[in-house]
């Protein structure tokens, strides 16, 4: 199985492991099944994109080693979008129209996923497991299958936890785009339920480096808790600068941040930072899916490099493969859509995913974790 994510963009798009004309219109040949993915494999959030890719590849490698699905090997074609929405949209078009993949899988955010939707809907392509809990993505779409709780679920859990300890002063950091504003709204809803309002709100552009104004505004408002809804690089820089400026607030983030990447970026300054998770702890090998994942990711990477993100991707890949099996001996995009709708209360090994023809939000699992002094996660 070729790891396209290691290649430059142009090579990722056009280097073919199949001879010209061999790929059929539905991404299935006699020997292969093609799955497409656009993700940030370069730039500030490359570790997040790599984790998503590697989790899926670990599961696909495991299946391929056992003979594949109906004697076909699974191939993941991953194309770099550098966390840029325009590039992710074009990548989606190329993957669907030129590479003719069976399905799209594991885009890294709502902002990167939404530009692919026109191509997904035009060609009726299954779009499986976007890595986002943004509210616009929770809306039912016949071709999109979510496998994680919403950010609203996560933010409600965060607010409930801190208010139960008596904290009332909340500050919010979000991206200045449609998804970021949805996250802001979700926090405000959770606070309003408890008779509270944010003491400050800061917004930043995606890939923005200068955070001074946002940090200054937050510090002046003296919050008890700062809730961040940004990716790990922005979040880590914001927390470091806030602490340097004298803030004594607690910091909490949604799972969108990329927990392991955040812990690594924060280093010793990460102690006590809370992160919501939408999958079980990757260290809890007593859970069957976690034990299976640990063995697969170690074999794939050659080291015990575990993370919540790659575990989530591994689980999502397992559900996708189950649907491909159910799609028949010669799966098509149409039969895969029907098979995904048939995934009812599917136990992946201690993590249940439940779809139906009217529900494409597969899980509401949320658990809070905190980074400890060793840079690991406590529960």
The yes-or-no verdict on residue 249 having pLDDT over 60 is yes
Inside any domain, residue 24: yes
Within a 13 Å sphere around the CA of 257, how many CA atoms are in the beta-carbon half? 35
* Nearest Cα residue to 274 out of 293, 249, 294: 249
Q: Which two tokens stand for residue 179?
A: 């998804």
138 with 188, same domain: the answer is no
Q: Give the pLDDT mean for 245-261.
A: 94
What is the rounded CA–CA span in Å between residue 316 and residue 327? 17
Sign of CA dihedral 117, 121, 127, 132: positive
Range of the domain at 51: 4-148+286-353
| Domain end call among 277, 306, 337 | 277
Inside any domain, residue 374: no
Q: Give the pLDDT mean for 170-195.
A: 95
Percent of the chain having pLDDT more than 70? 93
Inside any domain, residue 32: yes
The yes-or-no verdict on residue 26 having pLDDT over 90 is no
270 with 291, same domain: the answer is no
Q: Give the pLDDT mean for 340-362.
A: 97
E-strand spans in 129-190? 144-145, 170-175
State pLDDT tens for residues 218-242.
999 999 999 999 999 999 999 999 9
**CATH number for the domain including 12?**
3.40.50.2300
Inside any domain, residue 269: yes
Query: What integer pLDDT is reported at residue 25 of this predicted model?
Result: 58
205 with 179, same domain: the answer is yes
66 with 94, same domain: the answer is yes
Q: Give the pLDDT mean for 31-46.
A: 94
Query: What integer pLDDT is reported at residue 173 of this predicted model?
Result: 98
Task: State the average pLDDT for the chain.
Answer: 92
pTM, two decimals, is 0.83
320 with 257, same domain: the answer is no
69 with 198, same domain: the answer is no
Query: What integer pLDDT is reported at residue 245 of this predicted model?
Result: 97
33 with 78, same domain: the answer is yes
Inside any domain, residue 364: no
Query: What integer pLDDT is reported at residue 206 of this predicted model?
Result: 85
260 with 158, same domain: the answer is yes
Percent of the chain having pLDDT more than 90? 86
What is the rounded CA–CA span in Å between residue 339 and residue 358? 13
> How many domains, in total, are found in the chain?
2
E-strand spans in the chain? 32-39, 73-80, 103-105, 127-128, 144-145, 170-175, 200-204, 225-228, 250-253, 274-277, 346-347, 352-353, 367-371, 377-378
Burial class (CB within 10 angstroms; exposed 0-12, middle 13-18, buried 19+) of 93: middle
132 with 193, same domain: the answer is no
The yes-or-no verdict on residue 9 having pLDDT over 80 is no
State pLDDT tens for residues 98-143.
999 999 999 999 999 999 999 999 999 999 999 999 888 999 999 9
| Domain end call among 230, 257, 277 | 277
| Domain end call among 277, 297, 329 | 277
Inside any domain, residue 245: yes
């Amino acid at each position: 199985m070729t790891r396209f994510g290691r290649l430059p963009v142009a090579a990722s798009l056009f280097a073919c492991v199949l001879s010209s004309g061999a790929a059929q219109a539905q991404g299935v040949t006699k020997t292969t099944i093609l799955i497409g993915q656009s993700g940030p494999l370069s730039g500030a959030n490359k570790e997040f994109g790599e984790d998503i890719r590697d989790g899926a590849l670990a599961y696909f490698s495991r299946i391929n080693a056992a003979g594949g699905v109906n004697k076909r090997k699974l191939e993941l074609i991953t194309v770099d979008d550098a966390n840029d929405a325009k590039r992710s949209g074009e990548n989606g078009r190329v993957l669907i129209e030129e590479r003719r993949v069976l399905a799209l899988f594991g885009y890294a955010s709502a902002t990167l996923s939404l530009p692919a939707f026109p191509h997904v809907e035009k060609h009726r392509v299954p779009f499986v497991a976007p890595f986002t809990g943004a509210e616009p993505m929770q809306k039912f779409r016949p071709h999109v299958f979510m496998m994680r709780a919403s950010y609203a679920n996560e933010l409600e859990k965060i607010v409930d936890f801190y208010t139960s300890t008596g904290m009332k002063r909340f500050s919010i950091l979000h991206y200045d785009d449609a998804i970021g504003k949805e996250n802001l709204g979700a926090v405000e809803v959770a606070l309003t339920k408890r008779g509270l309002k944010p003491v400050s709100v800061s917004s930043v552009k995606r890939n923005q480096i200068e955070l001074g104004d946002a940090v200054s505004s937050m510090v002046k408002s003296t919050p008890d808790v700062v809730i961040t809804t940004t990716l790990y690089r922005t979040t880590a820089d914001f927390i470091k600068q806030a602490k340097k400026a004298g803030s004594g607030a607690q910091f909490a983030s949604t799972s969108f941040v990329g927990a392991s990447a955040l812990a690594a970026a924060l280093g010793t300054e990460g102690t006590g930072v809370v992160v919501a998770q939408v999958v079980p702890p990757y260290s809890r090998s007593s859970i069957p899916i976690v034990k299976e994942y640990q063995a697969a990711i170690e074999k794939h990477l050659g080291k015990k490099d575990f993370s919540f993100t790659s575990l989530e991707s591994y689980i999502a890949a397992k559900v996708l493969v189950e649907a491909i099996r159910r799609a028949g001996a010669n799966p098509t995009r149409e039969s895969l859509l029907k098979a995904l709708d048939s995934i009812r209360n599917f136990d992946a090994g201690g993590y249940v995913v439940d779809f139906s023809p009217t529900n494409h939000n597969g899980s509401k699992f949320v658990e809070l974790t905190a980074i400890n002094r060793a840079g690991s996660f406590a529960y």
